Structures are given as structure tokens and as C-alpha cells.
Amino acid sequence: MEVLTTKEMKELDRYTCKKKGISSLELMEIAGEKIYKCILKEKEIDPVTDKIVIISGTGNNGGDSLVVARHFLEENYKNLEIILVGNLDHLTEETKINLKKLKERNARIYYFKNYDFYKDYEKLIKKANIIIEGIFGIGLNRDVEGIYYQAIDGINRSEAYTISIDIPSGIRGDNGLIAGIAVKADLSIIIHTYKVGNLLNDAKDSHGKCKIVDIGILEDVFIPKQFLLQEKDIKNLLKKRRHNTHKYDYGSVLTIGGSIGMMGAPFMSAYAALRSGSGLSSIAVYEKYLDLIYPIYPEIMIRPYRKKEEFLEILQKKEAIAFGPGLGRKSDFPFYILEHLLKVDLPIVIDADGLYYFKELLNKVKKENKIVITPHYGEMAMLLDTTSENIKRDPVSAAKEFSEKYSIIVLLKGTTTLIAQQDKIYFHSLGNPGMATAGSGDVLTGIVLSLLGQRLKPIDACKVGVSIHSLAGNLAAKEMGQYSMIATDIIKYIPKTLKELVK
Ligand SMILES: NC(=O)C1=CN([C@@H]2O[C@H](COP(=O)(O)OP(=O)(O)OC[C@H]3O[C@@H](n4cnc5c(N)ncnc54)[C@H](OP(=O)(O)O)[C@@H]3O)[C@@H](O)[C@H]2O)[C@@H](O)CC1
Ligand SMILES: [K+]
């Protein structure tokens, strides 16, 4: 399923109208009807006892909500009030026409034009047990203030079941950030497909359940570049094992990492790799730190190195490398190691402190390198010499531009994780907030490492890797709860996840 920018969505609206020979009013009519039907499918509403308030803005999102209102009215829903928020001079043509149609049907319409109306607004909302809001859609272009702020605040104070049209009002369509305040919906009915703002940053905390409605948008000349990853997209990428195989067929993988106080990180990566199917999994650790290791997992080999020759020896027969978990930033040796790794033809996943060394060696990256980097927003900001706030504002461009510039895959971790391969972006949105816990990233690194070692293409290793990580994380959250789950719990549920995925 593709993910659109707001600009692309608007262009497709226009294109569809032109190609089908319909007006944007007619397209709004289709949207309104589909939204109305979707509401009734999702929520049982009694025409006599339920109290519905529909809150409309002056733009076309409001227009959609007014069409919905008309359908309720025509189907004899008795307790229906409509509140129009904003200056009537700003009504779009389509919204103006739909308002007129409601007036002709004697709908109960109220106007929230200034602060004086707030008390009445509160009263109306208090009575409602269902709110449908179309204050702002993807046309939101600045912070929410004044009566708009009050309108949204009122909705959030009420206990009514809240339905947002296209996107909860106050969420920015292109980055999912809250513009001062945003509706907290129970259900969001998204028109045509996900827009970027339906997925990133604050989106998940405001949308509630998401439903998509098809309004017949035409995409015949549109080449999508952004996609939402779904379970079906990764299902066939992992094959059943053949009998006539041995451990080297599943890859011998190596995690390079560990330093004082951070020995758990490479262990989690190496162990997650084993649980994800690697034939052999080793840790390369600087000899100085050897005494700090307590070998908790007997299946993992520990390979100390002191000099370059010893390190080269360890690399033999390895299929893939993870560079960075718990590596620290105190020594220069990792520079030499990474410099060497960039010269040999091995897939490599770079995470955590490894990214700090990688930044210094960016000029040595070659097109033929198979590199995956797995930064979170803070690490992406470090790589781009900017702030996390800037990355939040436009994570898609940050990941895309970095991937394009260095011909590497950027797996940018967040509430929705992005995987950028040049100009193509995959959104992955299945995890849960319990996964924001120490070592969770090391586990992801280990899973991706394992899949690279099993010779999946780097892009597929990322797609499958984030999916295994989140699905295992969701199982961990189910049993341990989001507060208590820890990174090793995610590893614990990799087996169950893989059993489901490879059938
Ligand atoms: N064919 C169609 O037309 C179809 C349309 N569709 C629907 O249209 C929606 C997009 O509609 P839209 O572009 O009219 O903008 P919308 O989201 O309603 O915003 C309203 C206006 O508010 C203003 N404004 C912005 N920020 C503000 C702020 N902070 N505080 C105060 N005012 C602010 C700004 O106007 P401005 O003041 O900048 O002139 C903006 O234009 C889309 O989400 C979908 O629901 C679909 O049904 C498909 C068919
Ligand atoms: K809305």
C-alpha cells in the first residue's frame, strides 16, 4: 500500500476529477457517502437514542463532514447537531454548497465564530455521545490557535466516541506532528490511502483505529515511491529450510562490539542473530575487554583480537557483520576495522557507536558496498550535523537524502520506522512503545545481521528484520506489558514470530 505526501494527494484529487470528468464537489459527494457508510460499519449508532455532533471547519475536510451530516439527516437520525467553526468568508466553494444543502433541509446548525460561543459549544458537546470532526484535514498549514484551539480542546475533554475525517484535526499531514493541539480520535477514516502524517511522530497517539475508504482516486500515471509495509509483503521472503543443509548454509555472522560497561549489547545482537536462524554467531571483542565477558549464551563464540592480523583471521568464512553494539567511542581501533570492512565485499549493518566511526569514514563508502545503517532520530541528526527536532520535522527526507547520497540503506528507527533505499521509502508501523527499552536496538541489529547472513538482499533483510522485531515485541508486550518488557523478552519471542512467518 502506498503512502502519499499531502501534495501528491491533492494532485491525485485534481487528476481524478479531470480524467473522470467530474467536479471536486462530486468527488466530495463520493467521499462523504463512503465515510458515512464506513462510520455505520464501524460503530453502531441508534437513530433515536444516540446524540451526534458533527463539527466542521471551513475547508474541504469540513465539506466532507457536511456531506456525512446530510446522510445522517436523510436517514432520520433525530439527534444531530452541526457546528461550523471559523469565519464563513473562508468557506471553500464545495463546503459552501454543502452548507446550503443542509440549511435547505432545516438541519440544526450552530456557528462558532468567536469566543462568545464557547459556553454553548461546551453544552452541545457535553450532550453528545458521538462526535464526527472535519475541522482540518491535510490542508492544515500552521499552528492551531484561538477558537480552533478551543474547538479541539472541547472535543478532547468530552467523553464522546470521536471520529476524525481523513486525519485528526491538528495533526500535520506531512509529518504527523501536533500543531499545538490535536484531536484524540477513537476512529480515523482515511481517504484513499495513508498520508505521511497518518503514520509518523504523534500520529499513532491521536488516530485511534484507522480505516481507509476508497473514493475511486485514479493512479494510472502515478509512480508511487513510498509504501506501508504489511505482513503480506514479507511473508514469502523467508523460505522453509531444506533437509540437506548444514550450519554454514545459514550463515556464520559476526558482531563487532562491546567495551567497558557495555558487554550486554553485542551479546543481545549475537543471540538475536542465532534465534533468527543464523548457523553460527560470534562476537569479536578487543582483547583488553575479554575479562569483562560473562559468557551467558554457550552457543555464541567469543573471538578476542589485539592486532589487525588477528582481526582478519576472525573475518574468515563470515557472511555478514554487525558493527557497533556497545562499541564505545574511546578507542581508535574501530576506525581501522571499519575502514577494512568497507574494502571487503561483506554485507554490514552499522548501529549505535558504530555510526560515530562510520561518520568519519563516509568518504570511503563505495557504491558496491552492501551497507545498512540503523540510526534512531538522534543518531541520524548526528550523521547529518543537525538536531533531532529537525529530523522529526522531516524524517522522510533525512533518510532518503542520506541513502541517495551514499548508496546505502537507511533504517531510521522511530514509532514508525522508515527504511530508505535511494528514493524508495518503506514505512513500518507495527511495533509498540514497550520496545523503547535498553538493548532493543541491539536486538534489531542482530536480526538484520542474521538475515543478511542468510543471504537475503539487504533491503529484504531490513523489511523482514523490522517486522520480526516488532511482531516479537508485540508478543512480549502482550505477556509482560509495555512497562515491564525488556530487550531480552523481544528475543524470547523471535521463535514464535518466525514460526508464524515461515509456514
Ligand atoms: N475534491 C476535494 O476537494 C476533496 C477533498 N477532500 C478533503 O479535503 C481535505 C483538504 O481540504 P482543504 O485543502 O480545503 O483543507 P482543510 O484540511 O479542510 O483545511 C481547511 C483550511 O483551513 C485553513 N487553515 C489551515 N491551517 C489552519 C490553522 N492552523 N488555523 C486556522 N485555519 C487553518 C486553510 O486555509 P487558509 O486559511 O490557509 O486559507 C485550509 O485550507 C482533505 O483532508 C479531505 O478531507 C477529500 O474528500 C477528497 C476530495
Ligand atoms: K479531521
Residue type, 219: E
Residue 59 is labelled as binding a ligand: no
Residue 45 forms part of a structural domain: yes
The number of folded domains in the chain is 2
Q: Which pLDDT score, from 0 to 100, does residue 368 have?
A: 84
Instruction: Cell numbers for 403, please give them.
Output: 541513502
d(CA 360, CA 335): 8
Regarding the beta carbon of 13 and ligand 1, being less than 6 Å apart is answered: yes
Residue 394 forms part of a structural domain: yes
Same domain, yes or no, for 214 and 300?
no
Residue of the CA atom closest to atom 26 of ligand 1: 140
Please list the pLDDT of the chain residue by residue as tens digits (503 residues).
999 999 999 999 999 999 999 999 999 999 999 999 999 999 999 999 999 999 999 999 999 999 999 999 999 998 999 999 999 999 999 999 999 999 999 999 999 999 999 999 999 999 999 999 999 999 999 999 999 999 999 999 999 999 999 999 999 999 999 999 999 999 999 999 999 999 999 999 999 999 999 999 999 889 999 999 988 888 888 888 888 888 888 899 999 999 998 999 999 999 999 999 999 999 999 988 888 887 788 999 999 999 888 889 999 999 999 999 999 998 888 999 999 999 998 999 999 999 999 999 999 999 888 999 999 999 999 999 999 999 999 999 999 999 999 999 999 999 999 999 998 999 999 999 999 999 999 999 999 999 999 999 999 999 999 999 999 999 999 999 999 999 999 999 999 999 999 88
The secondary structure of 383-431 as a DSSP string is HHTS-HHHHHH-HHHHHHHHHHHHT-EEEEBSSSEEEEETTEEEEE---
Phi/psi for 35 (5° steps) reads: -65, -45
For the CA of 13, the closest atom of ligand 1 is 1
CA of 134 to the centre of ligand 2 (A): 4
Residue 4 forms part of a structural domain: no
Same domain, yes or no, for 300 and 445?
yes
Regarding the beta carbon of 250 and ligand 1, being less than 6 Å apart is answered: no
Q: DSSP alpha helices (H): ranges in 44-145?
A: 60-74, 93-104, 118-127
**Residue 498 φ/ψ region, left for φ over 0, alpha for ψ in the -120 to 50 degree band, beta for the rest:** alpha
Q: In the block, which residue shows the cell 466553494?
A: 93
Residue of the CA atom closest to atom 5 of ligand 1: 60
d(CA 33, CA 44): 17
Residue of the CA atom closest to atom 48 of ligand 1: 28
Same domain, yes or no, for 95 and 172?
yes
Same domain, yes or no, for 78 and 184?
yes
State the sign of the Cα–Cα–Cα–Cα dihedral 43, 46, 50, 53: positive
Q: By the 8 A CB rule, do 129 and 51 touch? A: yes
Phi/psi for 177 (5° steps) reads: -85, 150
CA angle 107, 109, 112 (to 5 degrees): 170
Same domain, yes or no, for 188 and 298?
no
Sheet hosting strand 226-228, strand order edge to edge = 226-228, 424-428, 417-421, 409-412, 371-373, 348-350, 320-323, 252-256, 280-286, 301-305
Residues 6+ apart with CB under 8 A from 148: 57, 85, 86, 135, 136, 169
Radius of gyration of the chain measured on its C-alpha atoms:
26
Residue 143 is labelled as binding a ligand: yes
Q: Which pLDDT score, from 0 to 100, does residue 437 have?
A: 94
Q: By the 8 A CB rule, do 257 and 473 touch? A: no
Residue of the CA atom closest to atom 20 of ligand 1: 59
CA of 183 to the centre of ligand 2 (A): 8
Same domain, yes or no, for 334 and 352?
yes
How many residues are given for the chain?
A: 503
SS3 content of the chain, % helix, strand, coil (to 5): 45, 15, 35
Residue to probe by mutation, ligand 1, list 9, 18, 136, 194, most atoms within 8 Å of CB: 136
Residue 442 is labelled as binding a ligand: yes
For the CA of 24, the closest atom of ligand 1 is 1
CA of 482 to the centre of ligand 2 (A): 29
Q: How many CB atoms lie within 10 A of CB 291?
A: 7
Q: Would you tell me the crossing angle of helices 333-341 and 308-315 to the nearest 10 degrees?
A: 40
Regarding the beta carbon of 36 and ligand 1, being less than 6 Å apart is answered: no
Same domain, yes or no, for 263 and 195?
no
Q: Which pLDDT score, from 0 to 100, does residue 372 have?
A: 97
CA of 223 to the centre of ligand 2 (A): 27
Give the structural domain span for 193: 25-223
Regarding the beta carbon of 92 and ligand 1, being less than 6 Å apart is answered: yes
d(CA 80, CA 363): 64
Look at residues 223, 250, 285 and tell me which one is the last residue of a structural domain.
Answer: 223
Q: In the block, which residue shows the cell 484561538?
A: 146
Which CATH number belongs to the domain containing residue 357 in this structure?
3.40.1190.20
Residue in 217, 222, 279, 226 with CA at minimum distance from that of residue 252: 279
Phi/psi for 320 (5° steps) reads: -160, 155
Residue in 273, 233, 238, 272 with CA at minimum distance from that of residue 427: 233
d(CA 453, CA 299): 17
Residue 134 is labelled as binding a ligand: no
Regarding the beta carbon of 20 and ligand 1, being less than 6 Å apart is answered: no
Same domain, yes or no, for 241 and 353?
yes
Same domain, yes or no, for 188 and 50?
yes
Look at residues 207, 223, 239 and tell me which one is the last residue of a structural domain.
Answer: 223
Residue of the CA atom closest to atom 9 of ligand 1: 61
Look at residues 223, 254, 270 and tell me which one is the last residue of a structural domain.
Answer: 223
d(CA 366, CA 484): 42
Nearest ligand to the C-alpha atom of residue 67: 1
Same domain, yes or no, for 202 and 302?
no
Residue 14 forms part of a structural domain: no
Residues 6+ apart with CB under 8 A from 243: none
Same domain, yes or no, for 376 and 281?
yes
d(CA 248, CA 315): 14
Same domain, yes or no, for 64 and 207?
yes
Residue 441 is labelled as binding a ligand: yes
Residue type, 216: G
3-state secondary structure of 322: strand
Regarding the beta carbon of 31 and ligand 1, being less than 6 Å apart is answered: yes
Residue 114 is labelled as binding a ligand: no
Regarding the beta carbon of 304 and ligand 1, being less than 6 Å apart is answered: no
Regarding the beta carbon of 305 and ligand 1, being less than 6 Å apart is answered: no
